[in-house]
Structure 1
């Protein structure tokens, strides 16, 4: 009997520990649960160099995200860096100044790293790196911010491969004397595979007690010769490294640019991420996976707010559970997100845009969203030319709708008898356009989109059940 009581106590304890971790929501796994609360991740965050770039003040950066009411950031591990000017990005946080890259691997006593300082030793760990990484995660956790930690990245061209510690020219181990397209394969990278696996195990061991953490296998693995088999191998390593842990972290996988149907999903992957996903058809075609569908990078549609705001509203009201706008206003010396990048920048982001993302986040959190699902088909009327609409619903109870270019559009919803709160929202300013209470006898109810601006959102909730 005593053994049974002890065993039950252990189950309760470990269950409580697991409930604190960012996880799939047990009722609706298209969303997250964090510290026992339903969670959607919404942000406009820096270009992934917060940890690896020693000049970046990540505390100031995290303070800014928290003050803006956002709850996610994405950061790269330090096995990949970019040269200054890569992809036309000004003040790129993924492009540390000479000598300012910090990596999980320690520097050796031998000079010759291609971007300043000594070469790396792939058999030794840099304690300063792990201290910085853990503090970054702890500081993010104090502010309620989830970290998507990206382990690997393709070498898009020779300039990135030239900077990687995995390149034999940059380490003292004689490892990585291969072409850049062979780095993330199972059969062409020689002993580098063992180095990569050892790195993953080290990171997993060091971060075992972190709650606000998800592991992303690889950024944009559809470039640079990266194979699906290699990605699955890294997922297997994470799973094996955590097999005895009370806390098991979510694994995320980057699937493609735009839309793509996920084929042969790894059973341990819980979040399937896409880039540049507009319109958000990829949510619908992958919704049956029963996992979170995320968009964790945007860009290449100019510098203005409108496109990225519209992309965010459409994606999340189509049923997505994670949205990360790539925000170039965060830079070294401007960790408060005030850097005024030039017009040629391949994306946007600024303090005003982040306020708009908080409006979206607050709108979604105004619902019991784990009970909702995509329900665009409830509106059967033909939209105006160039009009857009996305709808989440718990049918008969709560409706969240986003409209673009649909002024004066009339539509019908079939509603049970009851009282309903109806509120129209200006998605740019956050101001209510109109609000009303409907006492409905049941059946079809006609609504018309207000003629105010190009975009608006509808919140309709039944107040009697």
Structure 2
């Protein structure tokens, strides 16, 4: 026993020293703005699954607590390296179901007043911030980056399910706190800059409280390298989101580390938000939505279809392309490969633990299928191929010289090509056939095929000679990925 104990202590110390093996916090790569980098200078590609209870509990009272360790294991088993960490602002009710759904812990202390439990907005619930730090660090110890979501747009009434208003249980609702705050806030189902709603700069006494909360969150996780920030999920006016992005950046200026700040799309705000507002924002990374709205209202001559045909990323921002904003309960492996070769970082809103509560199946017919299979199930047939292929894409991204790779639609008849012309090409062939334009690449290439459905790689036995157009036929009759590297 005396000989074993020192060995155990040594191994424990070694594990402590090897945890958080990141080479500094992320920042936008100076040579290729589609990706992040760290002190290593390499392009860092992000992809992974996120689910609604991966930070706070989000469940009906009779459901089990979220298995965070099992979730991290699933992430590592699938070679994922990014978590979008969900935050809920309210204690009870979900606008998508009439079932009782509870959320916790929340950020503020509770007190009893006249027999009722209320919030003291001037005092923090330290258990909330301890969980925030420990879960973010645990993910980091496994090599996973975490986007810390600061606010949640669905924490007010979205008017989907009458009688299930989250605002009724929000700490900022004046009937729920002892501080008398929140009286000026209008609860009308969406964020409106003119009316003065929860996530607008015209929200009266709440803005200072939101600023204090942001500061507390940043102070809690600032020493961790694996942190990114997201202002809010599907809410917040443009003016308020811009304000919060700048606030995070200003607060971190005087702190040891600075982390990327992200802005995501919201369609339930007034004035309306468009993808252009994301590109023009002070955010380091953005998460756009498919936009028939932009086409209808702004007169653009094309449809920004990030779901079926993601437009190529220009490199002006890092794009973390999220199925959450494209189709809700949705995602396919084809979309992940298309997004990758178009210069995006795709992530998946995963029903690994289904969204709490039951849907009205008649109202939500789009997520109900014959046989009782719904897209709110972890084992929906589309999901495991997507999870696995996101991991395969990350493995490929780590092998190639991603810094010098850019979308080159014109080089392939499929229009899905990521390339450093003359050096490396990754081509997605939805039907296994393509014509490549290699006229300016008069060199020999080593050939490698990957078949997403089979998860199988085949290395070519012969090289491919460039210098002209090349008709390519995959050895597999389904969707294929061709990787060419100059010999």
TM-score range, shorter chain: 0.7 to 0.9
Residues 332, 385 of structure 2: 8 Å contact kept = no
**Pick aligned residue for 2:373 from 331, 343, 346:** 343
Is residue 24–residue 33 contact of structure 1 (8 Å, CA) maintained in 2? yes
Matched residue, 2:46 = 41
C-alpha contact (below 8 Å) 1:397/1:462 kept by paired residues: yes
Using a 3 Å threshold, how does the CA distance of structure 1 residues 345 and 186 change in structure 2: closer, same or farther?
A: same
User: Could you say if the C-alpha distance between residues 316 and 409 of structure 1 is closer, same or farther in structure 2, counting changes exceeding 3 Å?
Assistant: closer
Aligned with residue 107 of structure 2, among 75, 81, 104: 104
Whole-Å separation in 2 of the counterparts to 1:88 and 1:323 = 28
1:429 pairs with 2:454: yes
**Cα–Cα, structure 1 residues 28 and 360, in superposed 2: closer, same or farther, change >3 Å?**
same
Structure 2's unaligned 5+ residue stretches are 1-20, 60-64, 192-196, 268-272, 291-305, 357-370
Q: What is the aligned partner in structure 2 of residue 164 from structure 1? A: 170
Give the Cα separation in 1 of the matches to 2:211 and 2:177: 17
Aligned residue in 2 for 1:7: none
Partner of 2:263: 253
Q: Are the counterparts in 1 of residues 231 and 244 from structure 2 also a CA contact under 8 Å? A: yes
Give the SS at the match of 2:109: strand
Alignment of 1:50-199 (within 5 A): 50-53=55-58, 55-80=65-90, 83=93, 86-87=95-96, 97=102, 101-110=104-113, 118-154=117-153, 155=156, 156-157=158-159, 159-177=165-183, 178-180=185-187, 181=191, 182-187=197-202, 189-199=203-213
Deviations 1:379-414 (A, max 9, x none): 3x4xxxxxx54111101000011121x344444422
Task: Give the stretch that moved more between structures: 101-110 or 133-142.
Answer: 101-110
User: Structure 2 vs 1, CA of residues 64 and 34 (structure 1 numbering), >3 Å: closer, same or farther?
Assistant: farther
**Which secondary structure does the structure 1 equivalent of 2:416 belong to?**
strand
Q: CA RMSD in A?
A: 3.2
| TM-score, normalised by the number of residues in structure 1 | 0.78
Aligned-pair distance for 1:148? 1.0
List gaps (5 residues or longer) in structure 1.
1-16, 334-340, 382-387
TM-score (norm 2): 0.75
Distance 1:144 1:249 in 2: 16
**8 Å contact from structure 1 (residues 77, 103) kept in 2:** no
The answer as to whether partners of 2:34 and 2:315 remain within 8 angstroms in 1 is no
Q: Secondary structure at the match of 1:360?
A: helix
Give the distance between the partners of 2:329 and 2:111, measured in 1 at CA. Answer: 42
C-alpha separation in 1, matches of 2:319 and 2:207: 29
Q: How many residues align?
A: 408
For the Cα contact (< 8 Å) 2:288–2:325, is it kept in 1?
no
- CA drift of 1:355 comes to 1.9
Secondary structure at the counterpart of residue 437 of structure 1:
coil
CA gap 1:52/1:203 in 2 versus in 1, 3 angstroms: farther
